[in-house]
Amino acid sequence: MRRSSILIISFFLFLACNHNTYKQGKVLYESNCAQCHMPDGSGVGDLYPALSQLGPDYNYSLISCYIINGKKSENSILEMVAIKGLSDIEINNIINYVRSEMNDLEGEVSIADTRKQIPECVQ
């Protein structure tokens, strides 16, 4: 009985690990970003910019700065609030969720890249 439950649990763990398409990034995106940028990243006009059309040339590491500091551009009337309390790994997972799932790009932004970017975000 005990052995079989261990087997079942490890099977599901295997499934979960094997299916890692930035699941944490998705959950964090949905709770922190989707309200304004929309669940599919399509945004709302130019008010809430689309994240699904950033394309291959965009510097995705910059997203960590927007998460940490928020964003207020000069000609915008709305201010993006900073998202507090996320770890560098969580931020990295959000970035890669946006990059791979929404923009359909191969590869990823490494945690090393994100850790290098974050100190440079300080305003």
Partner 1 sequence: MKSNIYTIIIVCVITIITSCKQDEKVGPLPYYGEKTVVNGDSIHYQIPEFKFFDQDSNAVTSKDMDKYIYVTDFFFTTCPSICPVVKKQMLRIYDKYKDNPKFKLVSHTLDPKRDTAEKLKKYAEKLNVSTDKWIFLTGDKDSLIDMSANYFISAYEDEDAPGGIDHSGLVVLVDTNRNVRASAQGTDPDDITELLSDIDRLLKEYETQ
Which chain residues interact with partner 1 by CB under 8 A? Answer: 35-36, 38, 42, 44-48, 76-78, 81
Whose Cβ is closer to partner 1: residue 27's or residue 34's? 34
CB of 66 to partner 1, least distance (A): 16
Q: Distances from the Cα of 75 to the Cαs of 5, 55, 59, 61, 95, in angstroms? A: 58, 23, 22, 23, 25
> In this structure, are residues 72 and 80 in contact, taking their beta carbons and an 8 Å threshold?
yes
CB of 44 to partner 1, least distance (A): 5
Whose Cβ is closer to partner 1: residue 38's or residue 118's? 38
- Give 34's Cβ-side CA count (13 Å radius): 12
> In this structure, are residues 96 and 106 in contact, taking their beta carbons and an 8 Å threshold?
no
CB of 72 to partner 1, least distance (A): 12
Whose Cβ is closer to partner 1: residue 44's or residue 89's? 44
